[in-house]
Amino acid sequence: FTLTSLSRPVKMDNIFYEFGKWTLTADSEAGLQGLVKILQDNPNIAIELSAHTDMVGNESNNLELSQKRAQSVVDYLIKAGIDKGRLTPKGYGESTPVVPDRDLVAKNRFLRVNVPLTEEFITKLNSEQQEIAKQINRRTEFKVLKTTYNMY
């Protein structure tokens, strides 16, 4: 992970869950350990750990699923020795679709810069593009909430 801007969330690319569940898979270990290292190296930051779903399923179930996924990552970090006071889990369900930037559009030419990956946008794509867009929306991120944790 690269911590480039405190105001933007950092997408965690290698965090995986069992389908329709909040159980972290073994493939998530490297990504989770990367976040543990960032938090160990920066003991004064507190973060929000957020999970997002795609538009498949109903909104309330997606909100609950994403909250449980965020909590799963927080639980992992606590077991790794990170103080729970530094960690805030937040599930957003499908409420916060990705807004593609130039880099994401360069990788996926069917997307448009600054056009959110909403259900309305996605349903106009072909089936292959829809799957890619839904996968982009399914994500786990963290953002820095505080840089002065336990300093005062």
% pLDDT > 90, the chain? 86
pLDDT at 2: 56
Mean pLDDT of 132-148: 94
How do residues 13-43 score in pLDDT, each as one tens digit?
Answer: 889 998 889 999 999 999 999 999 999 999 9
pLDDT at 45: 95
The number of C-alpha atoms within 13 Å of 115 and in the hemisphere containing its C-beta is 12
Whole-model pTM?
0.88
Query: For residue 72, what is the DSSP state?
Result: H
What's the pLDDT band for 1 if we cut at 50, 70, 90? low
- Cα gap 130→125, rounded to integer Å: 6
pLDDT score of 5 more than 70 = no
- Cα gap 120→84, rounded to integer Å: 38
DSSP state string for 2-71: ----TTS-EE-TT--B-TTS-PBPGGGHHHHHHHHHHHHH-TT-EEEEEEE--SSS-HHHHHHHHHHHHH
How do residues 82-120 score in pLDDT, each as one tens digit?
Answer: 999 999 999 999 999 999 999 999 999 999 999 999 999
Q: What average pLDDT is seen over the chain?
A: 93
The answer to whether 36 touches 49, Cβ cutoff 8 Å, is no
The answer to whether 122 touches 130, Cβ cutoff 8 Å, is yes
Residue 118 three-state SS: coil
